[in-house]
Structure 1
Amino acid sequence: MLKISPSILSCDFANLESECAQMKEAGAEMLHIDVMDGHFVPNLTLGAPIVKCLRPKNDLFFDVHLMISEPLRYIDDFAAAGSDLITFHVESESDVGETIAKIKSHGIKAALSVKPGTPAEAVFPYLDLLDMVLVMTVEPGFGGQKFMGDMIPKIEAIRKKAEELGLSLDIEVDGGIDAGTAPLVTAAGANVLVAGSAIFGKPDRTAAVRALRAAGESAL
């Protein structure tokens, strides 16, 4: 099943509640929440208190992406705030296995992400522990970047390895995803599409979600 996860990095933060409510009305399955610390990536966004405030207002699946140096320190906070899934980076300073275990201890899903410069093989040792792998198709930190087509083989490699292991793993892609690039990544094995400006940047968000879904499903 193809899932759409609109990235709130591209929303109007002055109207966060209503912007996120529109994503539920538009038919998205998830809400992608970008957390950046200004150290792991060169940008600052939001923290667990924002997730906590948003949680009672929206019952979409909270897809929380930690782009921070020490994710292990903050897992408890983001879990308590209402995250349904927490993604952290294999390149972070925290022990990968310990961080996955901490996420799972809260009864929520765990995912691991790789930057463009990190090979697919970096996540292979952890695949049987994960619910999802996030392949960054831009350098993390800012929205609106151009899709990096040379990430396609990485998606293919992770999907192939997951199938060899008999795992029904979600593969998410984030960065430059729109109706033009969606078929490329779904054909490669991705089934969760993160999109920011391609949804929040459109006047009709429902039409934008439908167009993205149709484009992605056209290659399945």
Structure 2
Amino acid sequence: MQLHLGIKSDPVEYRYSYEWLFRLMEQEQITHLQLGTFFELYQLPDAWFTDLRRKAADHGVTITSMFTAHRELGGFFRDDGPGFEAVARKNFERLIDVASLLGAQSVGSNPGAVLRDRMGTKAQGTATYLRNFRELQRRAGDLGIEWLTIEPMSCLAEPPTLPEEMAAYMQAVLPGGAGVARAGYCMDISHGYANAAKEVIHDPLALLRSALAYTSEIHLKNTDALFNSTFGFGPAELAKGIIDVAVVRDLLLAEAGKIPVEQMIGYLEIGGPKLGRDYSDGDLERNLRESFAHLKEHWLTSPGATSPVADRPIEIKSVSKIWIEPSIMCADAGYLADEVRRLEVLGVHALHIDIMDAHFVPNLPLGLGMIEQIRPLTALPFDAHLMVEDPAFFIPLLAKIGVQYVSVHIETMPHADRVLAMIRDHGMQAGLAFNPATPLDALDYLYPRLDFVLIMTVNPGFAGQALVPTALKKIADCRARLDALGVTIPIQVDGNVSFDNIPAMVAAGGDWLIAGTSSLFSTQASRKDNMARALKAADAGLAQRQQVV
């Protein structure tokens, strides 16, 4: 068995956004998310969930499971009329449909609660829940969901609770198979059972041991001696809690032959607003990081456990010789360090950094200080595009930072030969940039100084512009001119390098593609999918170019 670490989003989203959570998970290298439900989930359109899946993927996060956070299915245990069961059934169906949209492989639920003054209805409610559960195993199976899970609770009014109840539930469901989701338990390691006299009848380890044959996922929580509240694994919480995660880990590994899964994900589930915290709780991030640190040491550290770190870099199959360079100007400037690491994982070839002075072009997106700060974060080459009136001023500064490629605009240089030589003298590769309307004549005299040429296919200064009409001709003319000179150097293309434009740009002679909002940073799909699509488009263009040759 291999153990993995994830997090359940409930009740994080009560206080912080999903984007915040995804960034934290990425920083902590936690890749598995169990999405806790929330009230609006059952009414939101499909597009909201496909977009959430994309946002998660951009941070290397997979939504592997869903789980109810409230009592949305409690209507199965109400005998106030048929309306309650119908609402619970509708919620359960939507929960399964949403899981399919998110790509989750497991859908879990708290079955519901019997009203304390009507405990005599428990058997009827259980039968109603299990009848619907069996029917929905087929719905989930048809949608490709592998597991429907149930969480046993610590209270007799919230079944199943006792070992005999857990066994009875699993005997009443469908066995699973073709077109039928398997049934199992999401066991909470903080759940035990104490009776009304406050006597512990079953401690958490005993309940877990009794359900091993049905356990497919785990909730990782700490608790007090009577299971009254749950919380995380920070130093203060460990002092008051009773859960020894290492003991749970060792039990699972020792009894792996009884457990129906080989890959067991444990989802950290911290305490929620029920502890009296308000929505501005600034301790949440600290609590999560402390809990992750403890769990990485005591849940994952063993011969059978695995690191939560995703494979780096993500391998995207391609035979393309074309470079994809993301334009940092299009990244989220508020989280630039995370963006740089995320782009490196994708397997991009270099980072394209636009440096502007608000004179040559009317923009000023990124300063030298910021470039200096992100330089230690990645081994990727830095490709600086100087859109400035005095490029010579920046060259020694860029060399000191550790930039590998520098392109300068012919339009700004009365002494272009001197500036290009200066770039090489500082140990960097030199490129000459041409605006859309600038003739290529300077190549005839400067090519000995060049390591690459940059063709602007939009007027420089801003992202998201349309391609100028003569852009493709300019690329082809540049390629023909270099060939005539007997020069084999790359042509870099910058401006509206979209999925639709990439094949024609490459076919015309483009080699290094500066990817922005119309391709790699498109919000229509994940970064991983965008990268794969860009490489596929580049391969198509390369094939066209080779046919012409």
Q: Deviations over 1:35-65 (max 9, x none)?
A: 1100000111222222211111011111110
Structure 2 residue corresponding to 1:22, chosen from 335, 338, 342: 342
Following superposition, the deviation at residue 31 of structure 1 comes to: 0.6
**Aligned match for 2:534, one of 199, 212, 215:** 212
Structure 1 segment 113-152 matched on structure 2, within 5 A: 113-152=433-472
Runs of 4+ in structure 1 displaced over 6 angstroms?
none
**Alignment check: 8 A CA contact 1:49 1:81 kept:** no
Within 5 Å, give how 1:7-156 maps onto structure 2: 7-93=327-413, 95-156=415-476
Unaligned runs of 5+ in 1: none
1:66 Cα deviation from its structure 2 partner: 0.5
Give the AA of the match of 1:143: A
Query: Any idea what the Cα deviations from partners look like across 1:86-106, whole Å, max 9, x if unmatched?
Result: 011000145211111111011
Residue pair 2:522, 2:530 contacting (<8 A) in 1 also: no
Normalised by the size of structure 1, how large is the TM-score? 0.96
**Is the 1:27–1:206 contact (alpha carbons within 8 Å) kept by the matching residues of 2?**
no
Contact 2:383 2:403 in 1 (8 A): yes
1:159 correspondence with 2:479: yes
Query: Which of 1 and 2 has higher RCO (CA within 8 Å, sep 6+)?
Result: 1
**Are the counterparts in 1 of residues 458 and 466 from structure 2 also a CA contact under 8 Å?**
yes
**Alignment match, 2:164:** none
Say if 1:124 and 1:158, in contact at 8 Å, map to a contact too: no
Task: Please tell me the root mean square deviation across aligned C-alpha atoms, in Å.
Answer: 1.3
Q: TM-score, normalised by structure 2?
A: 0.39
Work out which of the two has the higher radius of gyration on C-alpha atoms and give 1 or 2: 2
Q: Decide whether the 8 Å contact of 1:72 with 1:94 is kept in 2.
A: no
SS in 2 for 1:100: helix
In 1, Cα distance between equivalents of 2:417 and 2:370: 27
1:7–1:32 CA contact under 8 A, matched in 2: yes
Query: Which SS does the other structure have where 2:379 is aligned?
Result: coil
Alpha carbons 1:178, 1:195 under 8 Å: kept? yes
Q: Please state if 1:199 is matched with 2:520.
A: yes
Unaligned segments of structure 2, at least 5 residues: 1-320, 543-549
Q: In the alignment, is the contact (CA less than 8 A) between 2:444 and 2:485 conserved in 1? A: no
Q: Give the C-alpha shift of residue 205 in structure 1.
A: 0.9
Percent of residue pairs identical: 35
1:93 and 1:108 mapped to 2: Cα distance? 18
Give the corresponding residue for 2:506: 186
Aligned partners of 1:40 and 1:69 also within 8 Å: yes
SS in 2 for 1:169: coil
Q: Deviations over 1:143-168 (max 9, x none)?
A: 00012241212111211122222222
Q: Distance in 1 between matches of 2:526 and 2:444?
A: 39
